[in-house]
Chains A and B, each alone.
Chain A
């Protein structure tokens, strides 16, 4: 049996359930003639092998309890948005939702990591009609949601690709270039946001 014990099926059900709710939100916004909330939605249950590796790396026991309680990213969803303001709209909706509680927020957009990484991380506590690892039913499950713009997402892909290369010639220079690139992409994101706002202000003036 995998590190998720008897809960692996529940995790997949929860992922699908949260994805459905997010898609509904997006459809609702479009029906109201508002801009879409996000451009791409990607979800996954972390593979048992990666979760086992993560528990070892973090010094946790390799147990189902550690995988579902100490680690809170067994279920992960990435929302890739067009504009920074769309990220804020998504965060506001998640905070108001009655089917989940936001238990942690990490805003790496206004507080970018030193290497240039930008993203907004939320941990949701989702109630679901399955027994959880503490024996409760309905059970409580953690879902990690990461929100970022398309530019931040591309940057993260590049950074991830480079991080796992074994032989990078002159890594300091590459880090410096990645940081510079992150600042330039942030500049574009802010610029697009500003243009959008200027146009909206122009419309209300008429």
Chain B
């Protein structure tokens, strides 16, 4: 992972950079919020770790500007122990996580590992369920045969597999698969359930999606 660290205490910045580099991460370290904006505009980062109190531009201001210009990078804020307001403001401004100072290096590294698992292994992973293999990266579904899936079908099937055997409301599938798309409705859910059913049949899988139009839907292996 490529990490951007913004910390104006030189000693702390050195220690953090050293520890993260040793753990195999690529680290760019800066000492104020303006440099965060400059570097983030030029490079792609997986994580940014931002101190709040910094000269020239604070971590909070930098974060707000980042989010305003559409940067969705995962951000961990470093806040002072006493300042509950900082943590709330930070999270509300678009931070994903925070660590209160003084924090343990072990904990920071554990959080980075946790994040790495979520972004790499949980996301693009190949899922297996009963006689199915779903390659979400390639958007291909395999059983006896193979067939391509659309983005929506892939996400819906991922969610169904993760929650196999549970009844899932149409509204949940809509929220999960079409999050933020105002034009999508439960009819889209039904049409894509129908596509998936026919595709399961065409690859001769024994897996079934149970449920009538309107839901709830349940994946049965």
Chain A positions within 8 Å of B, measured between CB atoms, are: 84, 109-112, 180, 183-184, 186-187, 190-191, 193-194, 197-198
Residues of chain A lying within 8 A (CB to CB) of residue B149: 187
Residues of chain A lying within 8 A (CB to CB) of residue B17: none
Which of B66-74, B84-92, B110-118, B192-200 lines the interface with chain A? B192-200
Going nearest first, the 4 A-B pairs with the smallest beta carbon separation are A187-B148, A184-B148, A183-B148, A194-B198
> Assuming A110-B204, A183-B140, A186-B202, is B145 touching A194 (CB within 8 A)?
no
Residues of chain A lying within 8 A (CB to CB) of residue B199: 187, 190
Binary contact readout B143-176 vs A (1 if CB under 8 angstroms, 0 otherwise):
0111111100000000000000000000000000
Residues of chain A lying within 8 A (CB to CB) of residue B197: 194
Taking residues whose C-beta sits less than 8 angstroms from the other chain, chain B's interface range is 10 to 19
Candidate in A186, A187, A194 with the most chain B CB atoms within 10 angstroms: A187
Chain B positions within 8 Å of A, measured between CB atoms, are: 138, 140, 144-150, 191, 194-195, 197-199, 202, 204
Q: Is the CB of B202 within 8 A of A110?
A: yes
Q: Is the CB of A198 within 8 A of B191?
A: yes
A54 to B195, CA, bound (A): 41
> Assuming A110-B202, A190-B202, is B146 touching A183 (CB within 8 A)?
yes
6 A-B pairs (CB sep. < 8 Å):
A110-B202, A180-B140, A187-B147, A194-B194, A194-B198, A197-B194
Q: Is the CB of B194 within 8 A of A198?
A: yes
Residues of chain A lying within 8 A (CB to CB) of residue B198: 190-191, 193-194, 197
